[in-house]
Structure 1
Amino acid sequence: MDIITMKNRTPKMLTVTLIAAMSLALTACSQNEEAETIASKQDAVTAIDNQASRNNGAWGGVYMTREELAAPPTNIVDQSSLPVMEDDPELAKWQAKFEIVDPVTREQQTNAFVTTDGKKLYHDSCAGCHMHDGKGAYGAGYYPPLADNEKMESKYYTIGILINGFRGMPSFHMMMNNEQMAAVTQYVMNDLNDYKAEVTAADVEQLRHANPPGYDPSE
C-alpha cells in the first residue's frame, strides 16, 4: 500500500483495521494455550494449615528444641501428660469435700451431699456466703446474717428458703434430701441462735414440692 492510498483512508477505517488485527492475535493465542490469569494462580496455591504451623513451632514466642521439632506433630499443650478427669486429684478433693461421689463406692450421688451432719452441711454449703460464724457479710452483694436472727425462730421459714432459694441464694431442692435440710435447719436454729424447737424430715416433707426451681436464683 503506497503513501497516497494511506492518506486517502479515513480514521474510521483505520480503527476498524486495528480492531480486526487485535482479534486475530487474541484468537491465535487462545488456540495455542490457555492464558494464565489471577484466578488460575490462586488455584495453584496450597492452602495453609494453621494448626500444622503452630505445631511446628512457627508461632512467635514459642521455642522448641530440635528433638521436639523432629517429633510427630502435637499440640503445644501435650494432652497425654494431663491426668484423666476421673483421676484428677484436685477433682477428687472437691468431690470428697462436697460429697458429690460416694467416698467408698465412688458412685455418683443423687444429692450433692451424703452426710446428715447439720454442722458439716452448714460449713460446706452455707458458710461461703453467710460466714462460718453466721454473721453474714457485705461485698459484691449482701449476705444476711443467720446468727442472732429472729427469722430463724421459724423452722418453716428456713426450710422454705432451702427448698426454693431466695433472691441471690440458690435452691437446695435438688442438692439436699429431707433429712439433710432438717439437719442444717436444726444447726442454724440451735447453734447459730438459741431456739430449741426440733426439726424433722417430716417438717421438710410438708413443704417440699415436685417442681424445683432452676439452678439460676433469678428463675
Structure 2
Amino acid sequence: MNKKYETEEQKFAQGCGFYKLCWIFIIGGILGCFIETIWCRFALGYWMGRSSNAFFPISIIWGIGFALFSVILHKDKDTSFWKLFIKGYLCGSALEFSCSWLCEKVLHMTFWSYAHLPLNIGGRISLIFSVLWGTVAIIWGKWGYPMISWIIEKIPRKKGKILTWVVTGYLGITTVVTGFGLIRMTQRHEEKPVSTICDRYLDHYLPDQVLKKVFPKMRFVE
C-alpha cells in the first residue's frame, strides 16, 4: 500500500495544478492556433496566421480557454451535456469579451470583430462563437481533459518539471516581446518618435510588415 502511495506521489503534474495547467495552456494554444488557421483556409479560401506570438504558433486565448475549462470542468466528466455546455458558453463568452476589451484599452487594437454576424455584442462576441465555446466545453469535459491529463501524467517527473520551465519561460519571454512590439506599433501609428534603445530594436526586428503577417486581422481603434 505504501509503495503504491509513493508511486502515485511521484507522478508528474497530478491533479489540476500548476504544471498540468501549463501544459494544457500550451497544448490548447497550439491546437487552437492550427484549428483557426485551417478554418480560415476553408472558410475564407486562403491561409491566415492565427498566432498570438510572433515567435511561436500559439493562440493565447485558446490556451487560456482550455486552462480555464480544465479548472472548472476537471471534476465534471459525469456531468450532463447541458451543464457542461452552459458553463462553456458563459465562461468562453466572458473570456473572449474580456480579451477583446483589454486589447482595445491597452493596445488600442482589435484582433477580431463579429460585427458582421447576427446577435453579436459590440463585435466582441457572437452567438455562433459562444455556442462553439459551449460545444468545446462538452468535448473537453467528457473526453479531452481526461485523455490529455493521463498523457501529461506519463511524463517523467524530473524531466517534466525542467521542460515545463524551459518551454513556459520561452513562451513567456517571447509573448512579452510580442506585446511590446504591438505597443511600439501603436506608437508608430501615432507617429511617436524613437525614445529608447528598446524602441530602436523593436522597430528593427518587429516592424509593421512583420506584425501584420502575424496578426492579419489586427485593426487600430481610432
- Please say which structure displays the higher CA radius of gyration: 1
Q: TM-score band (shorter)? A: under 0.3
Higher-helix-fraction structure: 2
The normalised TM-score by structure 2 is: 0.22
Which gives a bigger RCO, structure 1 or 2 (Cα 8 Å, sep 6+)? 2
The normalised TM-score by structure 1 is: 0.22
